Amino acid sequence: MTTDIAAASGDFFQRLGSVIAQARTGMRSRNRTPVRNNSHRAGTCEATFWRSTSRQEVQKIIKAAQRYELHGRKPGRRNGPLGSIALEVLALFGNLVSFKTGRLDPSLEWITAKLKRSRDAIVRALKALRDHGFLDWLRRFEPTPYEGRGPQVRQVSNAYRLSAPKRALALLGRWSGRPALPDDDEVAREGRAAMEAEHVATLDLRAFASFQCGDSPLGQALAQMGKAIDLRESAKRTESPSTSILMYKGTLDTVRQ
């Protein structure tokens, strides 16, 4: 009788230990998933977040931020409420944002490399811009092309949106109604085109399609096609672009023209 009870107890605790071990394994697996809280699936959240803009509007936001920084700087202090690096980030974003679609989603690595600033400095600058109303963003994730154990999603670059608070716009005075600079400003246009080309080169096919064609039905269809090609090529783990990728990008360039 005692032996039976001991055996039953041993079996119970063995099963209990197995359940606890499985639960801990599941928790570790969930903790390994590299997705931050409040993240949205890429491709499903941007249509209502991004909005078309203009060169004049972007210039107004940048100028308002500069005035806001000067106005808020205390005597003897080097920086105001935003800081010089935040103004650099804002100017970079102003050159990069798509006027047609509002698309703006450079990676943190790309920003740090472009401005030659530390990651921590860029993170602090982004936070300052958001806290003071000049920038907003959505965290995003996307499925991975891999199967089996491990995370099935991965964090991707944030979707950013420029804005300017009313208190900053009020500092512009008459400047807020000025027209945009003439379109024949060759230096400014060439600089913007070069920066856009550099950023586009870092995009995957889905993001490239969205950048070229916007959120139109055609753009969405081409983005889905690009995503399928991306997944297939990633599964192959090729070292260089395949013929299908080059043909796809050529097709998008033709559509845009």
pLDDT of residue 97: 95
Residue-range definition of the domain harbouring residue 90: 36-184
Mean pLDDT on 207-234: 64
Residues 157, 227 share a domain: no
Residue 164 lies in a domain: yes
Count the domains in the chain: 2
Give the pLDDT band (50/70/90) at residue 256. low
Residues 62, 176 share a domain: yes
Reported pTM: 0.64
Mean pLDDT on 194-220: 63
pLDDT tens digits, one per residue of 117-156: 999 999 999 999 999 999 999 999 988 776 666 667 889 9
From 150, 184, 218, the end of a domain falls on 184
Residues 163, 243 share a domain: no
Residue 17 lies in a domain: no
Q: Which residue has the tokens 């509002």?
A: 102
pLDDT at residue 69 tops 80: yes
Residues 209, 175 share a domain: no
pLDDT of residue 38: 84
Residues 107, 49 share a domain: yes
Residues 165, 208 share a domain: no
pLDDT at residue 234 tops 60: yes
pLDDT of residue 39: 87
pLDDT of residue 23: 52
Mean pLDDT on 193-210: 64
Residue 14 lies in a domain: no
Residues 163, 215 share a domain: no
pLDDT of residue 243: 59
Give the pLDDT band (50/70/90) at residue 37. confident
Give the pLDDT band (50/70/90) at residue 235. low
pLDDT of residue 31: 45
Residue 22 lies in a domain: no
Residues 159, 96 share a domain: yes
Query: CATH no. for residue 108?
Result: 1.10.10
Residue 195 lies in a domain: no
Mean pLDDT on 203-229: 64
pLDDT of residue 179: 46
